[in-house]
Amino acid sequence: MLDRVERQYLEATEEPMVDVAEILAALLSNQPTADLVAPEAWKKGMASVKTRPLHAQIYNLMKEKVLMDFYITDTSGTIVYDSGGMASVGDDFSIYLDVHRTLRGQYGARSSRTDEADPTSSVMYVGAPIMDGDEIVGVLSLYKPQRSMLLFIIETKRRLVFLAMMAMVLVLSLGWLLSRWVTQPLRRLTAYAAAVSQGERPAAPKMPGYNLRVLGETTEAMREALENRKYVESYVQSLTHEMKSPVAGIRGAAELLYEDLTPEKHDLFLGNIQSESIRLQTLVDQLLALSSLENRKALGAPVLISLSALVRGVVNHCESSTLQQQIVFEVVECEQDEVLGEEFLLETAVSNLLQNAIDFSPVGGRIALRISASEDGVRLTVEDSGVGIPDYALDQIFDRFYSLPRPDSERKSSGLGLCFVREAVALHRGRLVITNRRETSGVCAELVFPLGRGSRS
């Protein structure tokens, strides 16, 4: 385009030069004299226009003198007059295209440099025939230095470069925005898929545009379908495994009741049947509660809850059932303690954590519950003084039906309590971390919830 600019200007300049050359040649044509020298009035006029002050503001160019001249040749191509003084009278110009072609009735034009080393020294020439009737008796050739158009050419090229750069910046910006519009949702979708593959249950990403939105919805539907299938398979396998022991106990006790037993044995086996039935009932109830919780995607009707008051209520309830163990409860409350959530779920989660701490604490042990607030949110820390979690079990404590034997009775729980706590915390957009205490024995469970919008500052 930049190369085309110069040619376009030269073409635009050549066209009016043809008109002027033809007009001047026509004025000299069909004269009664064969003398081809320009009339005296022309000579005086050209001399006057060269010295007359000129102030023509053409856009950014201030034109201060006339830069167009002409010369006249006879039928042999010899110069008889030159208004610009570039040639001398008697010089042979018959070899130049503007003269050579015009004398043969063709369109004659050329561009020649006055200095071969300077590309800006080119001069444009346009020839027109001087006629005597139907006979060509001479040539009038109009010429103009290309340097006079240089400012327009440079200005146009500079503007084109500027516009091209602006267009490039615009195209790159639009391309960047378009790529982000496409790739950013894909990144969110990729992160979503990665989270799902790691067993998490993130919220489905919101995708812009119809096609991306359909892709996101389809991915979410596929995740739900696969998760539900895996969920059912896992539950059936785990439930079957956990039910084997109590069912076998009930069956064995029932078979023994058909035999002739002493009253003591009879009561013992009936007690076994009753305890195993209660264990099955508890297992089913907890499993249904956990299943209902895992299928929820959001809180139902969340309200602002004082975590300190909730913890104090759970501790008061547990204190009466731990009198024989002589466990000491220490509660450190905080003013900025409000979280947005469902009270029943939070109370059940805290109760499960506290019950775990009680089960693994020795007689006369201490359980500390500390509530604090920071920029991260409201933090609840539950620390016990038990034996801690074995290293091999740290990665399995959140698995369904996984349970460690209690130190005093060697009995195991249903293994669903921590699963419920994790799901309840995740539903409240919080996080749960359980680790062994470093300074002393025992376990530290840490729950962090986002600050409620109505929290006191």
Domain end residue (candidates: 239, 260, 294): 294
Q: What is the average pLDDT score of the chain?
A: 80
pTM given for the model:
0.44
Do 290 and 373 lie in one domain? The reply is: no
In a 3-state reduction of DSSP, which class is residue 6?
helix
Q: Are 428 and 341 spatial neighbours (Cβ–Cβ below 8 Å)?
A: yes
Question: Is residue 253 scored above 70 in pLDDT?
Answer: yes
Do 319 and 264 lie in one domain? The reply is: no
Question: Is 54 inside any structural domain?
Answer: yes
**How many angstroms separate the CA atoms of 287 and 401, rounded?**
10
Confidence label for 121 from pLDDT (cuts 50, 70 and 90): confident
Do 331 and 395 lie in one domain? The reply is: yes
**How many angstroms separate the CA atoms of 26 and 60, rounded?**
34
Question: Is residue 189 scored above 80 in pLDDT?
Answer: no
Do 376 and 434 lie in one domain? The reply is: yes
Element (H, E) at 380: strand 377-383
**How many angstroms separate the CA atoms of 374 and 59, rounded?**
67
Count of domains for the chain? 3
Domain end residue (candidates: 253, 268, 294): 294
Question: Is residue 363 scored above 80 in pLDDT?
Answer: yes
Question: Is 170 inside any structural domain?
Answer: no
Confidence label for 360 from pLDDT (cuts 50, 70 and 90): confident
Q: What is the CATH number of the domain that holds 256?
A: 1.10.287.130
Q: Please give the pLDDT value at position 35.
A: 59
Total Cβ atoms within 10 A of residue 369: 23
pLDDT top residue among 316 and 269: 316
Q: Please give the pLDDT value at position 12.
A: 82
Q: Please give the pLDDT value at position 296.
A: 64
CB proximity list for 151: less than 8 A, separation 6 or greater? 60, 61
Do 307 and 445 lie in one domain? The reply is: yes
Q: Please give the pLDDT value at position 251.
A: 79
Question: Is 101 inside any structural domain?
Answer: yes
Instruction: List b or e across 375-393, with b for residues whose CB sees 16 or more CB atoms inside 10 angstroms.
Output: eebbbbbbbbbbebbeeee
E runs forming strands in 106-230: 109-113, 122-132, 135-145
Domain span including residue 313? 303-449
Q: Please give the pLDDT value at position 81.
A: 92
Question: Is 268 inside any structural domain?
Answer: yes
Confidence label for 99 from pLDDT (cuts 50, 70 and 90): very high
Q: What is the CATH number of the domain that holds 445?
A: 3.30.565.10
Question: Is 173 inside any structural domain?
Answer: no
State the distance between the two ends of the chain, measured CA to CA, in whole angstroms.
66
Do 9 and 104 lie in one domain? The reply is: yes
Do 238 and 340 lie in one domain? The reply is: no
Do 14 and 40 lie in one domain? The reply is: yes
Condensed to tens digits (0 to 9), the pLDDT of residues 45-96 reads 888 888 888 888 877 777 788 889 999 999 999 999 999 888 999 999 999 9
Question: Is 94 inside any structural domain?
Answer: yes
How many helices, marked H, and strands, marked E, lie in the chain? 9, 14
Do 8 and 29 lie in one domain? The reply is: yes
Q: What is the CATH number of the domain that holds 115?
A: 3.30.450.20
Max mean pLDDT among 22-26, 112-116, 215-219, 332-336 falls in 22-26
Confidence label for 410 from pLDDT (cuts 50, 70 and 90): low
Do 116 and 253 lie in one domain? The reply is: no
Confidence label for 232 from pLDDT (cuts 50, 70 and 90): low
Question: Is residue 235 scored above 60 in pLDDT?
Answer: no
Question: Is 215 inside any structural domain?
Answer: no
Question: Is 372 inside any structural domain?
Answer: yes
Q: Which amino acid is at 21?
A: A
Angle ∠(326,316,448) on CA atoms, nearest 5: 105
In a 3-state reduction of DSSP, which class is residue 370?
strand
Domain end residue (candidates: 154, 169, 201): 154
Do 403 and 319 lie in one domain? The reply is: yes
Q: Indicate the DSSP class of residue 114.
A: S
Q: What is the mean pLDDT of residues 385-390?
A: 83
**How many angstroms separate the CA atoms of 135 and 36, rounded?**
14
**How many angstroms separate the CA atoms of 423 and 346, rounded?**
11
Q: What is the mean pLDDT of residues 154-158?
A: 79
| Closest-CA residue to 25 (of 103, 90, 85, 97) | 103
Do 340 and 267 lie in one domain? The reply is: no
Confidence label for 456 from pLDDT (cuts 50, 70 and 90): very low
Q: What is the mean pLDDT of residues 332-350?
A: 83
| Residue 259 burial by Cβ neighbours in a 10 Å radius (0-12, 13-18, 19+) | exposed
